[in-house]
Structure 1
């Protein structure tokens, strides 16, 4: 059952924790609020870009595993209303069907401060400079 969403971040360094809290809360709509309109997820097969409903569906598939995501920020580089986040992340455990799951990487993400003062993903690149793509359905 989805829990209360983590507040939207007002500092770029708070984006990874907000992502983990919303991902682990299990509510795809709450997770989707962390992405600006037109955001891009470089996580399709071979790192192909996903946007709109395809982006949110990819995140929802991972959430449906019911496994927590762990995030460990390495660096946050901010200038004005843009920031680059380098974040190690891992989803690991046993899938609902009983098989092992281990997916993770070092993300190279771009977040932007919106007119409301909250930071959201503009580019979510979970595998950084070596996109492997998320597991297929």
Structure 2
């Protein structure tokens, strides 16, 4: 699916951002996923390797096509003005491309920003956390 997902609008609370992200990701809704990021947002693919802007957006279809569904659990959120630090645990679990069971888990550290519309979007997405 690549169209709007009703539950995937950027949230008015930064604590809701991981849940909204998971809903759009699991729906494979690249339009809704992109709407959850600032235009210049940075995504850390792995420690030391990041993509931003148009390169980040161009990678979305491949990312959701190859990924196993995600579940997230917000651990902590710290807000200073229009900036928030989100720390959340995630698990990708389900059948892999070869049909075998796959489980990948980690702790993400993400930075979000509140826009002029009062909604929160990712500015830095770092699924590798402190790795």
Q: TM-score range by the shorter chain?
A: 0.7 to 0.9
Superposed CA offset, 1:25-76 (max 9, x none):
11111111100011000114x4411112332344433321363210011000
1:71-98: per-residue Cα shift (whole Å, max 9, x none)?
A: 0110000111000000001111112442
What stretches of structure 2 of length at least 5 have no aligned partner?
none
**Larger deviation, residues 46-55 vs 67-76:** 46-55
TM-score by length of 2: 0.86
Task: Report the counterpart of residue 63 of structure 2 in structure 1.
Answer: 62
Mapping of residues 45-124 of structure 1, within 5 Å: 46-65=47-66, 67-124=68-125
Offset at residue 101 of structure 1 (A)? 3.2
Contact 2:75 2:87 in 1 (8 A): yes
Deviating beyond 4 angstroms after TM superposition, the runs of 4 or more aligned structure 1 residues are none
Name the count of aligned residue pairs. Answer: 129
Query: Which moved further from structure 2: 13-22 or 91-100?
Result: 91-100
Moved more, 52-61 or 83-92: 52-61
Greater shift, 33-42 or 46-55, is seen at 46-55
Give the Cα separation in 1 of the matches to 2:59 and 2:52.
Answer: 10
Q: TM-score, normalised by structure 1?
A: 0.83
C-alpha distance 4-14 of structure 1, shift in aligned 2 (>3 A):
same
RMSD: 1.9
3-state SS of paired residue (2:6): coil
Residue 40 of structure 1, aligned match among 30, 38, 42: 42
